[in-house]
């Protein structure tokens, strides 16, 4: 098991003490600290300036009440969060997650990861994350709108084009961003397009933003495969989830000649031995907001498609050569990793944030499976959000092709920088170390320049 360097261990102890019970945050911090021993050996000034301690403490944490009324006039109270983690590289930037599991520890883990991810893109964006324990599932359009308006009625005080620029995440897509942008505009009397990203195309959104995280992970995973002369062509691929990230991962993998045979939602997974019919998945999940089980029912018996409830098995039991977990944190365990390795997996690209447990990552690395951590592999979404901000600032609108070409270049640069950094710091092929070290150094340098703030 990788260890935290003796010089860094007290920092981790302090994080555990000050953030009791926030298991996901501990996990995210631990993974980064495990990589930094090599860095502080070369650059002791990072330790002397207490820079790492400062990076483990968010600059600002906002927690607020979100009251709203359902269609039966019953009042509900949810909790809203915005954790502004680091503005060393630029305005705080990171998505909003609406999911019943959201708590401050989850938002902090996401904000911490986001800081290094954003630095890896090479674009001038700091790290932040937010959301609410609101569950949009089963809610009417009007309920979702009222919730978003109430959420923004507090959040608007804390965000702005030069301060903090939220975007979508789980449970927050173009519909929710639209309601929140409308409320922000109404409250501030400003048409400040750059205050949110992931906007609709008719009011300042960027082409290719919707596709960017899934496409980006596919570009990154392809670059990993190519280091061994491989590609997606002819490979069997499993993608978990069936939301924004999963859908556009499936699309790009299929375009590159891969055969995606399974995807999932929180209730279970579907397998289609003939390769997934993406249009049908989109129809069920994006248009009707239904359940993935409907896929097997609509395809019918004898079609090669079937559904397995999550209680009856794991999507990672399905044999594949490339695995792209794109649902949620800690969804792929050490046991799942062993099954994937036994079945001959070559590469794993994390579309979600921290979907693989530390045990799973260790198993992949020990088995020589190429492993792309989320903070590098899924950075295409936030990178394209930064491209959306560029277009908003210049009152410009780029074509899909231009934006996707920039995205592909950014993902290639992130891959190459993780690869080269891992080599430079004595961990060849270790993309986790490469991403953590490269991201950290980019954030650390401006922090040194700014002094103790």
The verdict on 114 binding ligand NDP (CB under 6 A) reads no
Q: Which stretch binds ligand NDP (CB under 6 A): 144-152, 221-229, 241-249, 316-324?
A: 241-249
Minimal distance in Å, beta carbon 168 to ligand NDP?
Answer: 5
The verdict on 391 binding ligand NDP (CB under 6 A) reads no
Q: Which stretch binds ligand NDP (CB under 6 A): 38-46, 264-272, 405-413, 415-423?
A: 264-272
The verdict on 264 binding ligand NDP (CB under 6 A) reads yes
Q: Give the active site residue among 93, 117, 129, 259.
A: 129
The verdict on 241 binding ligand NDP (CB under 6 A) reads yes
The verdict on 327 binding ligand NDP (CB under 6 A) reads yes
Tell which one of 78, 132, 326, 436 touches ligand NDP (CB under 6 A). 326
Q: Please say if 129 is a catalytic residue.
A: yes
Distance CA 350, CA 450 (A): 33
The verdict on 59 binding ligand NDP (CB under 6 A) reads no
Q: Which is nearer to ligand NDP, 11 or 361 (CB)?
A: 361
Minimal distance in Å, beta carbon 117 to ligand NDP?
Answer: 8
Q: Which stretch binds ligand NDP (CB under 6 A): 185-193, 242-250, 273-281, 405-413?
A: 242-250
The verdict on 242 binding ligand NDP (CB under 6 A) reads yes
- Residues between 182 and 221 with contacts to ligand NDP, criterion CB under 6 A: 213
The verdict on 434 binding ligand NDP (CB under 6 A) reads no
Query: Residues 428, 431, 434, CA angle at the centre, nearest 5°?
Result: 80
Cβ atoms of 55 and 46 within 8 Å: the answer is: no
Minimal distance in Å, beta carbon 327 to ligand NDP?
Answer: 3
The verdict on 170 binding ligand NDP (CB under 6 A) reads yes
- Residues between 358 and 387 with contacts to ligand NDP, criterion CB under 6 A: 378, 381
Tell which one of 32, 102, 165, 245 touches ligand NDP (CB under 6 A). 245
User: What phi, psi does 132 have (nearest 5°)?
Assistant: -160, 160
CA-wise closest residue to 141 among 304, 339, 305, 289: 289
The verdict on 249 binding ligand NDP (CB under 6 A) reads no
Distance CA 279, CA 271 (A): 15
Minimal distance in Å, beta carbon 220 to ligand NDP?
Answer: 12
The verdict on 333 binding ligand NDP (CB under 6 A) reads no
Would you please indicate which residues are annotated as catalytic (active-site) residues?
Answer: 129
Interface residue list for ligand NDP (CB under 6 A): 168-171, 213, 240-246, 264-267, 326-328, 331, 351-353, 378, 381
């Amino acid at each position: 098991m990788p260890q935290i360097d003796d010089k860094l261990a007290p920092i981790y102890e302090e994080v555990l003490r000050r953030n009791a019970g926030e298991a996901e945050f501990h996990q995210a911090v631990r993974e980064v600290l495990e990589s930094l021993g090599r860095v502080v050996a070369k650059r002791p000034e990072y330790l002397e300036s207490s820079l790492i301690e400062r990076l483990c403490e968010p600059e600002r944490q906002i927690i607020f009440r979100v009251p709203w009324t359902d269609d039966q006039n019953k009042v509900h109270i949810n909790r809203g969060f915005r954790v502004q983690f680091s503005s060393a590289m630029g305005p705080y930037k990171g998505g909003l997650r609406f999911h019943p599991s959201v708590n401050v520890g989850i938002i902090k883990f996401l904000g911490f990861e986001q800081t290094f991810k954003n630095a890896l893109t090479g674009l001038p964006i700091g790290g932040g994350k937010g959301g609410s324990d609101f569950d949009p599932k089963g809610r009417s359009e009007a309920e979702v709108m009222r919730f978003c308006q109430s959420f923004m009625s507090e959040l608007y005080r804390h965000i702005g084009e030069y301060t903090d620029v939220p975007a979508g995440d789980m449970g927050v897509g173009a519909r929710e961003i639209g309601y929140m942008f409308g409320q922000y505009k109404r409250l501030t009397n400003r048409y400040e397009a750059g205050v949110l990203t992931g906007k609709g195309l008719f009011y300042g959104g960027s082409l290719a933003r919707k596709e960017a995280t899934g496409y980006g992970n596919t570009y990154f995973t392809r670059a990993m495969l190519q280091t061994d002369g491989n590609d997606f062509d002819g490979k069997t691929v499993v993608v978990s989830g069936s939301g924004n990230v999963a859908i556009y991962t499936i699309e790009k993998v299929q375009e590159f000649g891969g055969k995606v045979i399974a995807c999932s939602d929180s209730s279970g997974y579907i397998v289609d031995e003939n390769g997934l019919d993406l249009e049908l998945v989109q129809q069920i999940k994006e248009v009707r907001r239904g359940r993935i089980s409907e896929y097997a029912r609509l395809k019918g018996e004898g079609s090669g498609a079937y559904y397995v409830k999550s209680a009856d098995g794991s999507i990672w039991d399905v044999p594949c050569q490339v695995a792209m977990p794109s649902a949620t944190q800690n969804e792929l365990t050490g046991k799942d990793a062993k099954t994937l390795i036994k079945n001959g997996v070559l590469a794993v690209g994390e579309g979600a944030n921290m979907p693989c447990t530390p045990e799973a990552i260790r198993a992949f690395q020990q088995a020589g499976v190429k492993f792309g951590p989320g903070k590098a592999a899924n950075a295409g979404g936030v990178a394209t959000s930064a491209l959306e901000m560029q277009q908003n600032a210049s009152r410009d609108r780029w074509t899909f092709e231009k934006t996707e070409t920039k995205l592909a270049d950014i993902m290639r640069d992130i891959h190459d920088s993780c690869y080269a950094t891992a080599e430079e710091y004595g961990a060849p092929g270790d993309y986790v170390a490469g991403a953590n070290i490269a991201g950290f150094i980019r954030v650390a340098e401006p922090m040194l320049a700014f002094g103790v703030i």
